[in-house]
Structure 1
Amino acid sequence: MKDLLKNIRELILSARTAVVHSVDLIQVLTNFEIGRRIVEHEQQGSKRAEYGKALLKALSAELTAEFGRGFSRSNLEYMRRFYLTYQDRTLRIAQAQSAIFLPDGKSQMPSGKFPGTSKSQIPSGKLVAPFSLSWSQYVFLTSIDNLDERRFYEIEADSNDWSLPELKCQFNSGLYERLALSRDKDGVRKLAAEGQIVAQPEDLLKEPYVLEFLGLDEQAKYSESDLETAIIDKLEHFLLELGKGFLFEARQKRFTFDEEHFFVDLVLYNRLLRCYVLIDLKIGKLTHQHLGQMQMYVNYFDRFVKLDDEHPTVGIILCRKKHDALVEITLPEDANIHAQEYRLYLPDKELLRQKLVEWGEEAERNRG
């Protein structure tokens, strides 16, 4: 009885989730088609901006009178912009609008076809939905001008099941820029094409980390112990800021070596990389002693803690101001240790973007 009840519950919940996603997809596809028809009508008539405004105003009045809310002039403009932004997906959208999905995952094509697309252009077989987010999320995404950045947030919102507020929060924190600034050119291209894929220790890094959720005053004095306590109190937020796959193990983890006790501020484990991640918190200037200490922590975990089938330990020093030259001269090139800056406030996205542009220009000069 219990197994039967469990199976039926799972079936019902799965069906309800599928219905919600289907409704979202139908709305998004319908709005895309409305936007397409508005754009094509404009192209056949006057191209003056005044004509477009008058058209949307008149169209809004007629549609609202017949169908009610949802067809304001601003919403119609969103649909128009949505089509212009994603018109490169027209073939995939044609598949989704024309296909009849069967229980076994196969599809048949009805006699009706998507306007402007011949049936012969639509390949058979299992189809991939052209859109996976809600309409409100796509309205927000169309406001992002940078194509790579927009693709990144669409992929991440889908893979992490972000709500609209969560999507806006990640955007406002400059997640794309902060990840991009800690990668090389190829890594930035992968961000746009695949989202954040954690396959090596460098994939965990951001520049900088944003700890504004801790509520610490940037101008007030606080100790490393205060910082650590605030992080533990907001551990869920901290793990989300660190990124994908992190699990918390301990704070002030003690180990003894040569009859002397040592304490690691935070010990985490990343299940995607299958490795320990040690975090040391520093509020002052980064020194070579800090780097040497972290190297010793990492060496100890690699030799006495990690299992044979686990990957090498990663050390991250979170500091107010890092010193790249000092890190480079102090640590060997293959060291799994990184000094990363943190901020107690949301960074200015424009400054992050400018920094990313300057970083790209510098990388091109170095290659030349």
Structure 2
Amino acid sequence: MNEVSNEFLNRVSSLIEEAKKNVKTAVNIAMVYTYFEIGRMIIEEEQNGDNRAEYGKYIIKNLSSFLTEHYGKGYSVDNLKLIRRFYTIYKTNSIGETVFPQFKNYPATVTGRKFYLSWSHYLKLMRITNIEERHFYEIESVKNDWSLSELKRQYDSSLYERLALSKNKDEVMLLSQKGQIIEKPADAIKDPYVLEFLQLPELPVYSEIELENKII
């Protein structure tokens, strides 16, 4: 009896793994869009009340009880407050659709906003109060397919601040619009990821000779 080749088995396995990844991505994206719309609906319903602060508490408490009864865990009062906050933060702060043309077929919310990351990513991003910095980490997470742990690692290593120190004001503004852009080979060498890997200090300015000497 002939044995099936490992190459064949691996190709089938890869197909299944890719399908599982796609399903996971689809579920995560659907969750984020759903939470955004729930947040929008909570805000709009709050605006219908006379005493908005008190009515807001009433809405979230009652909505939590209703959703928990019908759909189980995930809709506690605290979670609904996070969902409400998610909408208030992201209803207008778009990172720009031209950055990710490969996601042009993604759906858009009623406000025109598109989302590309998991809910866990956005929970981390929402804690970043600086809008430009938040945009930067969101862009880099999508461009580089960062996992949540990688996003946390890069944030904890102050990647945005380290990049900002080595760029002028115009370039820092571009960080929040397009992320980190590598245009020349020298830019790649000055990349904080590369410097980190080579264990070189980050300086505002590196001459090419200095870089070559330190790398050698």
Is 1:41 the counterpart of 2:45 in the alignment?
Answer: yes
Structure 2 partner of 1:335: 207
Aligned alpha-carbon RMSD (Å): 3.3
How many matched pairs?
A: 196
Is 1:13 the counterpart of 2:17 in the alignment?
Answer: yes
Distance 1:204 1:48 in 2: 54
CA shift, 1:85, in A, is 1.6
Distance 2:117 2:130 in 1: 19
Distance 1:204 1:46 in 2: 59
Distance 1:245 1:161 in 2: 20
Pairing 1:150-299 to 2, within 5 Å after superposition: 150-200=134-184, 201-202=186-187, 205=190, 242-243=192-193
* Structure with bigger gyration radius: 1
| TM value normalised by structure 1 | 0.46
Distance 1:203 1:44 in 2: 53
Structure 2 partner of 1:74: 78
For each residue in 1:135-170, what CA deviation from the matched residue of structure 2 results, as whole angstroms up to 9, or x when unmatched?
011122122222211111111222333332332232
Change (3 A) 1:35 1:337: farther
For each residue in 1:174-207, what CA deviation from the matched residue of structure 2 results, as whole angstroms up to 9, or x when unmatched?
211111111012211221112222334356548x
For each residue in 1:68-97, what CA deviation from the matched residue of structure 2 results, as whole angstroms up to 9, or x when unmatched?
1100111111111111122236xx8xx745
Change (3 A) 1:150 1:204: farther
3-state secondary structure, aligned to 1:198: coil
Change (3 A) 1:97 1:183: closer
Whether the 8 Å CA contact 1:197–1:203 is kept in 2: the answer is no
3-state secondary structure, aligned to 1:243: helix
For each residue in 1:199-223, what CA deviation from the matched residue of structure 2 results, as whole angstroms up to 9, or x when unmatched?
34356548xxxxxxxxxxxxxxxxx
Change (3 A) 1:96 1:199: closer
Structure 1 partner of 2:101: none
Structure 1 partner of 2:88: 84
Distance 2:42 2:189 in 1: 44
Distance 1:97 1:42 in 2: 26
Distance 2:55 2:210 in 1: 57
Whether the 8 Å CA contact 2:46–2:52 is kept in 1: the answer is no
3-state secondary structure, aligned to 1:44: coil
- Aligned-pair identity in percent equals 43
Whether the 8 Å CA contact 1:198–1:204 is kept in 2: the answer is no
Is 1:145 the counterpart of 2:126 in the alignment?
Answer: no
For each residue in 1:298-331, what CA deviation from the matched residue of structure 2 results, as whole angstroms up to 9, or x when unmatched?
xxxxxxxxxxxxxxxxxx6x39xx8x8xx9xxxx
Gaps of 5+ in 2: 98-104, 212-216
3-state secondary structure, aligned to 2:32: helix
Whether the 8 Å CA contact 2:107–2:114 is kept in 1: the answer is no
